Structure 1
């Protein structure tokens, strides 16, 4: 069948699109592993990832080697499929060498067992994702791969951007025309400083550092040249004035002397006026520069920083009202009024202190304290004024989650170091709960606060008391346990797993029911307010509703990507589901879809309802938070983050929320 006119137009317009500045993943593999490579490529694209895959990305007649190198250059991640064939392939080794020379981030997938002595040293430094785990369940292992690729995406994207600019500069003889200027330089310099101070990986490579340092030197040299030029002009003016004075001094003393004095006074007045004008211009230039910088920050969604810079401009203006033009005041005041009083300006405080991704936040019951968990191995406690109260140290690997006990006196943390820790609000470690043999993903307190449940990659759930004693180990899942939820009455605990099942348990550790029906890993669980209904979200793109007798009530279809998060409204009549298809859906308990909320341009990662149930928030991989009402109308888009939004939490009074 020949293509339709619409298909022809679509293809033509697609070919006209400029190439992407960077892609997410370069896939390196041996031809013997083509089936897995092709499946990974297809599934990653379904998750919205942009990939470089040689079977799709190299046009016929192209220079194969150059195309490979170009693909590695533009990709944020270098994904290597490990097998006996790939680790012994000279072609794969060449790709690894080139990626290592660019300081690319390596992500490794173990497809077939190998002798580790055959591994390239660069590959040996990376903890691989073993696709032989979970009985070779592709979906369960793929979830871990996606999670790894989503780590610190903002840093990776910047790494690729400045790498490409540095490589172009190097290839074109380090031309000064290609160096960074203005706001672009400030952004690159800030990225380099953060990368080095926070020891981010991958680190900047020598060429990136040289490129940014050369840009800084060029800017400094241009400023020095301008200063020298201004000094020469001033010196020339002074010399001319002196010459005029000398000529006048040689005139006769009578009427000519009077004229000479008059002319000298005029000349001196000109010089003084010139100096005054130069001072005014310098001050005005500084005020204008600060004002332009604040506008630039506002355009890049850094509203709080923009306001700070505008206030600095305002203070400088206030100090120099007698010498600068009054019309400079209007743009500064207009900007401040627009930013502070516009409806969309919501950021109250920015809590800065972690040196790794922040992936969990929680409010204490009284709403006065926020806890944050980070991949920098610490937990921090903050007040609502944005002041850091305590840093809780003790974990030796990423902290995945924090949860406050119902009475607000105890904080529990789950970590990749296989432990759970209990802390008081003075930042003192009360207990370390040991027993899990693999990463602990999640912790949940029972409603009465007497029992703590922990979910682990070791396929078990453990129950603990607050004295740190292990009460029960709940065994039965055949895959890692991904989520936990207590029923509102505290009598039932639900656990979801990568084995595609949900299990119900009592607090004596007895398995009550196994809920089967999902065909993919279970990603999230949520009980309705009355405790009669349990919702489960899955990698099979569906939501299922169950009663506590283990009967499936409804299967809710409509999402075209993994269901990532679920949340019930406080009145229990509505619940929301977020998905990798970038949408949020609202449902009633009869399984009817009420609304589909579109607007995010990335995976919807977390959902939270306000305590009054009138508003809910959605966080996304597009770096934004959106607020919605229950009619599905978008109320606000909150911008300011420069990385993935991983978690949301409303304060108990509903006046504040943290992202």
Structure 2
């Protein structure tokens, strides 16, 4: 807050705050402040009036003009003020959103999981606000708003769940004190305090603010420490008292009481571990979430007394971690930053470099092989010879060192006048090329004799890379250009287009493209023959420096690594962003793919001194990424070999289930809301906001798909083929039902009693059409009746008190399922008899489908979850990972996969074969095996030791 717009300097004659209550210096207060006000100086006049009215309500307030003593670390004081406040008020204005210090305060509160209350003092564009703030209900205090009404809303927000919020603050302060004292055990919770904290965590799972990862770690560590002490005490008691005394205690009832206490404590620990896993998952720390879910599941297997609700919750927690984990192992051993990372040509060894002056060699399972010492400064780069028997390392000390694969040192190549940043072997392995900050590229014999020196770069060179066939090399660095050379050292081209210093350059595996990343966050690709820019892309509204670059061995994926601790994956041929890998705690300096084309494995090296291995396993979850707007509908082809999706970006996309994009169809002029594939696999129907139903001639193999158009009067929300592929039905925005023959011949156009229709489906025998209306009714219409020009449904019955979004028949036609704004799924007999109501979704339920065998029901919601249910209403599992509402569902013909389409612009294909806890435990144990058996921290951690023993027992 020392920038001109947001300063801690006190204004003249500010209102004075209420003094904080006096507390014992050795005891933390339950809560120091009701609220923290985060604001921009330009809004000071509003803030003073706002502050005075808050004081009239007897609120205790932290604000920077009153609560930062002179001559202190003002950032630390602000951090402590946010920690000690129950609620964080962000006073939104254009200046607030533009202020760096305001952003720091908001992000601090977000990290602590503080209750956020955004108020608006000047009009702002919601799209410019951070998403977590934009998603909340804003309270308006603009000049045109009623001040008293706004204050009443604010008071209601501040007082909602106040005991929960104050407990959040109190526990956060204690957890921070524990962290600030190097996690000293004497600061842990014990006894009643621990039980209350666990109960707060369990009861507050659905409340705001949610527990933070620090709070959950604090509770979990407290419980584990207390249980360890209890186990030690029990062993001591048994030794001292003997078996007769123990028998007496049990007989007298004391043992029964103790056992019940043990049961309760175990369940609380399970729930806390589950909550811890949930919190880690939300922070994108999926690997640690998997570890915590394994521990919760391990205890759950022993706790046979746990309720079905607890069992289901932990199973769902384990399931989401298992679906989304990509980090496979952590390699720890370097004493300083890690930068260079490289796989041997046979993919069996990983080499890494570090600021600790060493090169380390590792087995793929993470087991250390050797530490190569000899450099006099940090080592930047390492590479293997083509036969994999030698290594070359480049260092800040100005040398290149050669090593045998077993770690035996070889020649030292000296000649560069400054740090050497890159080196590679010639294709025949008889020479090397190196480049450094002295602006030169140098050639060396394998014996270390110097050769030609190339001096075309006027400034430092940071990257030098060979083409796959060994005939070319590319260099780049501080002058923002890529120079393309023949392997003999002749400059062929000077490639322009990068926006800043180039940190890395690479050839694509086929040699046709050259890619470079720069410190402005741009990724530039050139054609290696013509030198023309193929494309340039970046994360939107981002100038984060990029330091790492790698192509997957099959050439389909480009990975980039950034200063903000994230690895981004791209489909580089069209610049489509695929996903981010998060987990490092420091900026990422280097990345590389293993050479195996069949199982993608990525290694990353970070400023946090660790290496991470990332495994791309699409066997249980495949994201289909490429749409530029929300995806509204999805359908499997009848043979299960393709998936079609329709989006608000006006396109249809045809995919393979593994995520490969096959084709894009562009004929719609507006948003596409619905797609349907004919059961005979010959036709595809699509419809949407351009008021047209398009029928595509489609057999899944043609490269060109012609279509015919069926015009309608309004936006079409749903189109559907009949089971015999003879009819097409559609419904629109004003409640009209359309029926055509498959050749486009109109059969009926009926204005129903509904003001709007979102759904239409056929009965399995094709004789009836079912609708769910805006008024909450279910209607059955007869195909035979349409042929006789009848305009009334054959049956109507009330189903929901609110609008129905979807209604479908079961495959045997004996059950109907409907979803509604009322957050429920209801099951019916066709005569309108209610069978049961499925509750569990936290928001509008948007879609429902039966599995092909009719035994499973899938429902999706605006709460971003998919739920799978048994016919009897029991919940099977919750599938989490979408970032927005889920509008479309489709089972594969064999029922083993489920495709979901979401507002988050993605289709996800879920494998449903391993949803039980035992299967999840086996998968988790297999995934974590290398980490549990080779990571040095895990080998010393008592919980990890128990995890490893548990997993070993399951493997036997």
Q: TM-score normalized by structure 1? A: 0.52
Shift in Å, 1:399: 0.4
Q: Which residue of 2 aligns with 1:612?
A: 554
Shift in Å, 1:573: 4.3
1:446-595 equivalences in 2 (<5 Å) = 446-474=426-454, 479-486=459-466, 490=470, 496=476, 498=478, 512=490, 534=493, 544-545=494-495, 555-556=496-497, 560-586=499-525, 588=527, 589=530, 591-592=532-533, 594=535
Determine the C-alpha separation between the residues in 1 that align with 2:603 and 2:566: 13
Q: Which residue of 1 aligns with 2:766?
A: none
Determine the C-alpha separation between the residues in 2 that align with 1:345 and 1:600: 27
The reply to whether residue 416 of structure 1 matches residue 416 of structure 2 is no
1:84-483 equivalences in 2 (<5 Å) = 181=173, 189=179, 211-212=180-181, 216=184, 219-220=187-188, 222-223=189-190, 226=193, 273-321=256-304, 323-340=305-322, 342=323, 344-474=324-454, 479-483=459-463
Determine the C-alpha separation between the residues in 2 that align with 1:279 and 1:502: 66
Q: Deviations over 1:199-222 (max 9, x none)?
A: xxxxxxxxxxxx425x746633x4
Q: Which residue of 2 aligns with 1:596?
A: 537
* Secondary structure of 2:588's aligned partner: coil
Shift in Å, 1:293: 2.2
Q: Which residue of 1 aligns with 2:163?
A: none
Q: Are residues 307 and 477 of structure 1, via their aligned partners in 2, closer, same or farther at CA, if it must alter by over 3 Å?
A: closer
Determine the C-alpha separation between the residues in 2 that align with 1:503 and 1:324: 65
The answer (yes or no) to whether the contact 1:628–1:635 under 8 Å persists in 2 is yes
The answer (yes or no) to whether the contact 1:181–1:219 under 8 Å persists in 2 is no
The reply to whether residue 633 of structure 1 matches residue 616 of structure 2 is no
Q: Are residues 638 and 485 of structure 1, via their aligned partners in 2, closer, same or farther at CA, if it must alter by over 3 Å?
A: closer
Q: Are residues 598 and 507 of structure 1, via their aligned partners in 2, closer, same or farther at CA, if it must alter by over 3 Å?
A: closer
Determine the C-alpha separation between the residues in 2 that align with 1:506 and 1:440: 21
Determine the C-alpha separation between the residues in 1 that align with 2:438 and 2:525: 34
Higher percent of residues as strand: 2
The answer (yes or no) to whether the contact 2:567–2:581 under 8 Å persists in 1 is yes
The answer (yes or no) to whether the contact 1:600–1:622 under 8 Å persists in 2 is no
Q: Which residue of 1 aligns with 2:219?
A: none
The reply to whether residue 656 of structure 1 matches residue 629 of structure 2 is no
Determine the C-alpha separation between the residues in 2 that align with 1:573 and 1:353: 38
Q: Deviations over 1:380-422 (max 9, x none)?
A: 1122222222222222210010011111111100112222211
Q: Are residues 415 and 283 of structure 1, via their aligned partners in 2, closer, same or farther at CA, if it must alter by over 3 Å?
A: same
Determine the C-alpha separation between the residues in 1 that align with 2:71 and 2:521: 31
The answer (yes or no) to whether the contact 1:603–1:620 under 8 Å persists in 2 is yes
Shift in Å, 1:647: 1.4
The answer (yes or no) to whether the contact 2:293–2:321 under 8 Å persists in 1 is no
Higher percent of residues as helix: 1
Q: Are residues 598 and 315 of structure 1, via their aligned partners in 2, closer, same or farther at CA, if it must alter by over 3 Å?
A: same
Q: Deviations over 1:346-377 (max 9, x none)?
A: 22222222121111111111111111111111
1:50-69 equivalences in 2 (<5 Å) = none
The answer (yes or no) to whether the contact 1:565–1:579 under 8 Å persists in 2 is yes
The answer (yes or no) to whether the contact 2:468–2:507 under 8 Å persists in 1 is no
Shift in Å, 1:443: 1.3
Q: Are residues 217 and 640 of structure 1, via their aligned partners in 2, closer, same or farther at CA, if it must alter by over 3 Å?
A: closer
Shift in Å, 1:181: 4.8
Q: Are residues 569 and 600 of structure 1, via their aligned partners in 2, closer, same or farther at CA, if it must alter by over 3 Å?
A: farther
Determine the C-alpha separation between the residues in 2 that align with 1:445 and 1:295: 47
Determine the C-alpha separation between the residues in 2 that align with 1:357 and 1:600: 28
The answer (yes or no) to whether the contact 1:407–1:449 under 8 Å persists in 2 is yes
Q: Which residue of 2 aligns with 1:192?
A: none
Shift in Å, 1:583: 3.9
Q: Are residues 396 and 71 of structure 1, via their aligned partners in 2, closer, same or farther at CA, if it must alter by over 3 Å?
A: farther
Q: Deviations over 1:314-334 (max 9, x none)?
A: 22222232x443432222221
Q: Deviations over 1:30-84 (max 9, x none)?
A: xxxxxxxxxxxxxxxxxxxxxxxxxxxxxxxx99x99997589799xxxxxxxxx
Q: Are residues 480 and 628 of structure 1, via their aligned partners in 2, closer, same or farther at CA, if it must alter by over 3 Å?
A: closer
The answer (yes or no) to whether the contact 2:499–2:522 under 8 Å persists in 1 is no
Q: Are residues 458 and 628 of structure 1, via their aligned partners in 2, closer, same or farther at CA, if it must alter by over 3 Å?
A: closer
The answer (yes or no) to whether the contact 2:384–2:391 under 8 Å persists in 1 is yes
Q: Deviations over 1:567-618 (max 9, x none)?
A: 4433444444433333434555563554634258522222222222222212
Shift in Å, 1:472: 4.5
Q: Which residue of 2 aligns with 1:246?
A: none
Q: Deviations over 1:61-120 (max 9, x none)?
A: x99x99997589799xxxxxxxxxxxxxxxxxxxxxxxxxxxxxxxxxxxxxxxxxxxxx
Determine the C-alpha separation between the residues in 2 that align with 1:620 and 1:420: 26
Determine the C-alpha separation between the residues in 2 that align with 1:572 and 1:497: 20
Determine the C-alpha separation between the residues in 2 that align with 1:425 and 1:359: 20
Q: Deviations over 1:267-304 (max 9, x none)?
A: 98775553332121111122222222222322333222
* Secondary structure of 2:428's aligned partner: coil
Determine the C-alpha separation between the residues in 1 that align with 2:563 and 2:194: 46
Q: Which residue of 2 aligns with 1:624?
A: 566
Shift in Å, 1:311: 1.2
Q: Are residues 600 and 315 of structure 1, via their aligned partners in 2, closer, same or farther at CA, if it must alter by over 3 Å?
A: farther
Q: Are residues 407 and 284 of structure 1, via their aligned partners in 2, closer, same or farther at CA, if it must alter by over 3 Å?
A: same
Determine the C-alpha separation between the residues in 1 that align with 2:526 and 2:397: 38
Determine the C-alpha separation between the residues in 2 that align with 1:270 and 1:283: 20
Q: Deviations over 1:626-658 (max 9, x none)?
A: 222223222222111121121121122232121
The answer (yes or no) to whether the contact 2:548–2:561 under 8 Å persists in 1 is yes
Q: TM-score normalized by structure 2? A: 0.37
Q: Which stretch has the larger CA shift, 385-394 or 468-477?
A: 468-477
Shift in Å, 1:498: 4.9
